[in-house]
């Protein structure tokens, strides 16, 4: 069990390092960006990710792919995580229906 805990911690640490990656141009998103509009945003994301990693440690590769696709390519806005019928989260499903 201790080995699993060590692996989980390393996955969380690695993920947090990647989530804190700042592109050279910055995309105008900084630490504390939501401190007024949603002061708990960063802690909510951190605690939610910790909980998912503890439940399903193999989620790390999927999260890295998601983060790479949404953030590294065009700047990080988190829009793939927003729920709704016409959001980026459901874009693939909508696209496949029209083909």
Binding-site positions for Ca(2+) read: 70, 73, 75, 77, 79
Alpha-carbon Rg of the chain, whole angstroms?
Answer: 15
Are 57 and 51 in contact by the 8 Å Cβ rule? The answer is no
Binding-site positions read: 70, 73, 75, 77, 79
d(C-alpha 75, C-alpha 69), whole Å: 9
Are 34 and 42 in contact by the 8 Å Cβ rule? The answer is yes
Torsion sign across C-alpha atoms 36, 38, 40, 45:
negative
């Amino acid at each position: 069990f201790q080995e699993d805990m060590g692996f989980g911690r390393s996955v969380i640490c690695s993920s947090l390092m990647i989530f804190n990656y700042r592109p050279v141009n910055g995309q105008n998103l900084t630490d504390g960006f939501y401190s007024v509009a949603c002061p708990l945003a960063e802690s909510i994301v951190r605690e939610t990710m910790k909980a998912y990693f503890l439940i399903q440690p193999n989620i790390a590769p999927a999260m890295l792919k998601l983060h790479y696709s949404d953030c590294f390519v065009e700047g990080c806005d988190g829009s793939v995580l927003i729920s709704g019928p016409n959001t980026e989260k459901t874009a693939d499903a909508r696209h496949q229906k029209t083909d």
